[in-house]
Structure 1
Amino acid sequence: MILDYLPLFLFALVFILILFGYPVAFTLGGLSVITGLILYDIDFFYLLSLRIFGTMHNFVLVAVPLFVFMGIMLEKSGLAESLLETMSHLFGRLKGGLAISVVIVGGMLAASTGIVGATVITMGLISLPTMLKKGYSPELATGTIASSGTLGQIIPPSVVLVLLGSVLNVSVGDLFTAALVPGILLVGMYIGYILVIAHLNPASAPAITAEESAAFWSTGSTKKVIHAFVLPFTLILLVLGSIFLGIASPTEAAAVGALGAIALTASQKKLNFEILKEVMRDTTFLTCMVFMILIGATSFSLVFRAMGGDKILADAITQAGLSPNLFLLTVLLVVFIAGFFIDFIEIIFIIVPVAAPIFSAMGIDLIWIGILIALNLQTSFLTPPFGFSLFYLKGVAPPEIRTGQLYRGIIPFVIIQVVLLGLVILFPEIVSFLL
């Protein structure tokens, strides 16, 4: 009887050790291998080598290092600074205009990089001091920057969607297409919230002065606007356009994006050997981290299923009489709570593989599930105590910004994300509109 619950005990033990700070990849892989050796024998792990080689031959996953390279290279190009300066003057005369410009730039950077850390740090360094100087409330300024930086989780090209496509065994191109409308809606909801706050409390989101605006527009402003918008839009069109038009697969488009990012950095006269070496080192580090976790998760999945863990969960759901909708809400709640404590990559590789076969058996559209999980995972970057977006922003924020202000600032944006998640659950057409 106790042996029947061994898979669930293994699952719980993995979570406990991760919460105590043990490395995720080695916790998943190590526990699984030890359990497999105790219950089975060394020959059992021949299957593991086959699975790892299968992962290594997965063409879709090649997009991960390419998109990471593209994002880090664009961070070095200086285009974000140019975009933020231009957008702040385009919307600056509007109350809340600086915050709106941050959201729009966050969306554009998401569509051209997809790297949350790079976006948050860049916008935090450039726009946060300016917003505070102009009289923005610290809560609104930090909340806007932190949440806008996470748009790279849902707006394609997104590393999250690439990993989810691999785990759910669905087309990454379809996930990119399905995520476009929710991503645009989220940007619109952020802007709507800022406009409401600026109307209710103008002192918290003042407009820039007429003198500052006039000074910008009087000195080659047209050239600045064209320069700031044309280059990023060109890259976005090359990457996303080639995917949506069926010209290239996501992996091929990622290669185009990586090459385009090099060209854009060179056009800004920022490309040199030191920058190239730094970008390649950071890309290698992040890619190795992702794939080590993937190998650990593959080991865990193999042992968990060999022990009948997936069957135990399926039987428990059947006996509990959970409807597909109730099971969906349960999984989303688990993912949301897990996001408070562990990273999105770990959630994708631990929770999603266990739930995916059950969703599939229930006849639920896995593309829709992928978008729901991606939207849910986006909150993990904003929810304390381990919200990475908060860590990134706190690291570059002026000393007068307190942690409490940062936490209060992100609450409305987390609520907005949860509201959008609810809308996508109630109206699946939002996801299937472009498919």
Structure 2
Amino acid sequence: MHLELVMIAVLIGGILLGYPVSFTIAGVATAFAILGWTAGSFDLSLLGALGQRVFGLLTNDVLIAIPLFVFMGVVLEKSRIAEDLLETMGRLFGGLRGGLGVSVVLVGALLAASTGIVGATVIAMGMIALPTMLRSGYDPRLASGLVCTAGTLGQIIPPSTLLIILSDVISNAYQQAQFAQGKFTIETISVGQVFASALIPGLLLVGLYILYILGRAALFPADAPPVAQLDERPSRAAIFATLAPPLLLIVAVLGSILGGIATPTEAASVGAVGAILMAGLRLGVPRRTILAATAALFVLAVAAGAVPVRLQRLDAGTVDWVLGGVYAALALTGFWAIAVSLRRGLAQGVLTAALTSTMAVTAMIFATILTASVFSLVFVGLGGDETIADILGAMPGGPMGALVFSMAIVFVLGFFLDFVEISVIVLPLIAPVLITMGHDPIWLAVLFAINLQTSFLTPPFGFSLFYLRGAAPKEITTGQIYAGVVPFIGLQILGVAIIWAFPGIALWLQALLY
């Protein structure tokens, strides 16, 4: 009897019954470790490696970026910056047939690149954009599907929690595959490479969504009519004032990572500070204070990198001390604006809510990753890695057949499991085998990322569907939400097929930068 396969089935059943995920994973692992030990197929001494695994998780430089990116996204969401974006983009494109739908997709892409929080994006657009589309005569199914799908872009467009987790999982799998091949010089995969490889595919999905909306509006004009009574188009100054802050934040975070200027953790810190300043501007901190702080911090980052000052050296001269004073003044200018923004956020309840949400999301992610480490240790101890390798090796079609089977398994599991659970339980089991078969690890990361993004849309447990159900007007039924996402699930599959047929879409930018 294959205890390892029964172990996976019991885990899925326990999660579907509604038990807390982390406790379910740890409980199933413990139960099957004891069961395997009594059957003589598991060595309990393997559990002695748990301490090392926990220490490795808590000291993982890649995963440290997760709470910072989560905080950045939650602060932007709590400060209601999404409302300004939706209002401005709606007025800009609403006069076109299908224009409101296009504006929702574009705002979803902007929020994805600046927040990366699916729930926040879906809820914000469900409360603001969805009623507007319904009043304008949009088909309820199309409007619901648009909001759900645009919100999921935060999983494929960097910076994304999913991409950070995937980069760690795929990097570990890549190292395992190299060890299995007898290589002594081990290569790794960085978060920056995964971010770079996912950027163009994410924009490809944005393009597919927009083409679908415009095509459907042309074929079925009643489904996506232009806004009948539209306020005057926003001025260039209004557009710039609305778009400039999130775009600058995107450039600062992604640009520093892709340009090799900062590590993902450092860039996440920049993003958190930028989000605090943007929230402060939204909450009433004087514009000149925010602009002065932004300019001071930018000049400080560039100058300190180009002309570093080390005042502790014995040969530090007058120029060094003058530069040190200038740098200190720039830092104090930035710190003053950050302190004022934090005080304003605390007074209005934004900071407390943001910290609470950040702690809850971070705890959920790390608890799942930690218990999944226990699960994978027991699974491997029961011989599960060999079983998975045998199953994939027996697939007709060789490496491509094994990849098709793996993608299908992940897609089906997405109907029932969360992306974190799939990423840290299933992918570590199949990714090393697929890489050993010759598949490019970065290309695999992008394919799996889009597949896992789709899990937010697939009923009955798609999280994006649940988020919208809670925020949608009463006249929107659950059936309309489910029906609305079906075409977009098809577009997701089309996106995977395009990247499968043309791997350069995912590999070109990261090869250019790295």
- The answer, yes or no, to whether TM exceeds 0.5 is yes
Q: Which residue of 1 aligns with 2:358?
A: 283
Q: Which residue identity lines up with residue 230 of structure 2 in the other structure? A: E
The CA distance in 2 between the partners of 1:98 and 1:392, in whole Å, is 21
Q: Which residue of 1 aligns with 2:298?
A: none
Q: Which residue of 1 aligns with 2:120?
A: 118
The CA distance in 2 between the partners of 1:307 and 1:385, in whole Å, is 32
Q: Which residue of 2 aligns with 1:56?
A: 58
| Conserved? CA contact 1:324–1:362, under 8 Å | yes
CA-based RMSD? 1.5
Q: 1:408 aligns with which of 454, 460, 483?
A: 483
Q: Which residue of 2 aligns with 1:308?
A: 383
Q: Which residue identity lines up with residue 203 of structure 2 in the other structure? A: I
Q: CA deviation at 1:312?
A: 2.0
Q: Which residue of 2 aligns with 1:421?
A: 496
More off after superposition, 8-17 vs 316-325: 316-325
The CA distance in 1 between the partners of 2:486 and 2:31, in whole Å, is 42
Q: CA deviation at 1:325?
A: 0.5
CA 1:179/1:34 → structure 2, altered by over 3 Å: closer, same or farther?
same
The CA distance in 2 between the partners of 1:138 and 1:321, in whole Å, is 43
Q: Which residue of 2 aligns with 1:248?
A: 262
Q: Map of 1:9-20 to 2, 5 A cutoff?
A: 9-20=6-17
The CA distance in 2 between the partners of 1:58 and 1:67, in whole Å, is 15
Q: Which residue identity lines up with residue 430 of structure 2 in the other structure? A: A
Q: CA deviation at 1:309?
A: 1.0
The CA distance in 1 between the partners of 2:29 and 2:416, in whole Å, is 21
Q: Which residue of 2 aligns with 1:172?
A: 191
1:201 matched to 2:220: yes
1:232 matched to 2:246: yes
1:381 match: secondary structure: coil
| Conserved? CA contact 1:238–1:256, under 8 Å | yes
Q: Which residue of 1 aligns with 2:20?
A: 23
1:296 matched to 2:293: no
The CA distance in 2 between the partners of 1:191 and 1:52, in whole Å, is 44
Q: TM-score, normalised by structure 1?
A: 0.95
The CA distance in 2 between the partners of 1:422 and 1:153, in whole Å, is 18
Q: Which residue of 2 aligns with 1:188?
A: 207
CA displacement 1:365-396 (0-9 Å, x = unmatched): 11111110110011111111111111111111
CA displacement 1:238-269 (0-9 Å, x = unmatched): 10010111001111111111111011000112
Q: CA deviation at 1:320?
A: 4.9
CA 1:164/1:262 → structure 2, altered by over 3 Å: closer, same or farther?
same
CA displacement 1:331-371 (0-9 Å, x = unmatched): 11011111111111111111101102201221211111111
2:62 match: secondary structure: helix
Q: Which residue of 1 aligns with 2:432?
A: 357
The CA distance in 1 between the partners of 2:244 and 2:196, in whole Å, is 23
The CA distance in 1 between the partners of 2:394 and 2:220, in whole Å, is 52
Q: Which residue identity lines up with residue 67 of structure 2 in the other structure? A: P
Q: 1:8 aligns with which of 5, 29, 34?
A: 5
What are the ranges of 5 or more consecutive residues in structure 2 without an aligned counterpart? 172-188, 285-343
Structure exhibiting the larger radius of gyration computed from Cα positions: 2
| Conserved? CA contact 2:46–2:381, under 8 Å | no
More off after superposition, 16-25 vs 248-257: 16-25
Q: Which residue of 2 aligns with 1:272?
A: 345
The CA distance in 2 between the partners of 1:333 and 1:247, in whole Å, is 38
More off after superposition, 95-104 vs 270-279: 270-279
The CA distance in 1 between the partners of 2:245 and 2:395, in whole Å, is 55
CA 1:319/1:135 → structure 2, altered by over 3 Å: closer, same or farther?
closer
| Conserved? CA contact 1:68–1:115, under 8 Å | yes
| Conserved? CA contact 1:93–1:213, under 8 Å | no
The CA distance in 2 between the partners of 1:313 and 1:404, in whole Å, is 37
Share of identical aligned residues, percent? 49
Q: Which residue of 2 aligns with 1:328?
A: 403
CA displacement 1:208-242 (0-9 Å, x = unmatched): 24x6343x54xxx3332111111110100010010
Q: Which residue of 1 aligns with 2:230?
A: 212
What are the ranges of 5 or more consecutive residues in structure 1 without an aligned counterpart? none
Q: Which residue of 2 aligns with 1:346?
A: 421
| Conserved? CA contact 2:163–2:191, under 8 Å | yes
| Conserved? CA contact 1:36–1:44, under 8 Å | no
The CA distance in 2 between the partners of 1:321 and 1:84, in whole Å, is 48
1:434 match: secondary structure: helix
1:60 match: secondary structure: coil
CA 1:332/1:41 → structure 2, altered by over 3 Å: closer, same or farther?
closer
Q: CA deviation at 1:205?
A: 1.1
Q: CA deviation at 1:11?
A: 1.9
Q: Which residue of 1 aligns with 2:461?
A: 386
Q: Which residue of 1 aligns with 2:272?
A: 258
CA displacement 1:130-177 (0-9 Å, x = unmatched): 111111111111111110000011000011000111111231111100
The CA distance in 1 between the partners of 2:236 and 2:389, in whole Å, is 61
More off after superposition, 27-36 vs 290-299: 27-36
Aligned residues: 427
More off after superposition, 121-130 vs 17-26: 17-26
Q: Which residue of 2 aligns with 1:151?
A: 153
1:66 matched to 2:68: yes
| Conserved? CA contact 1:142–1:409, under 8 Å | yes
Q: CA deviation at 1:322?
A: 5.3
The CA distance in 2 between the partners of 1:320 and 1:95, in whole Å, is 47
Q: Which residue identity lines up with residue 364 of structure 2 in the other structure? A: M
The CA distance in 2 between the partners of 1:369 and 1:19, in whole Å, is 28
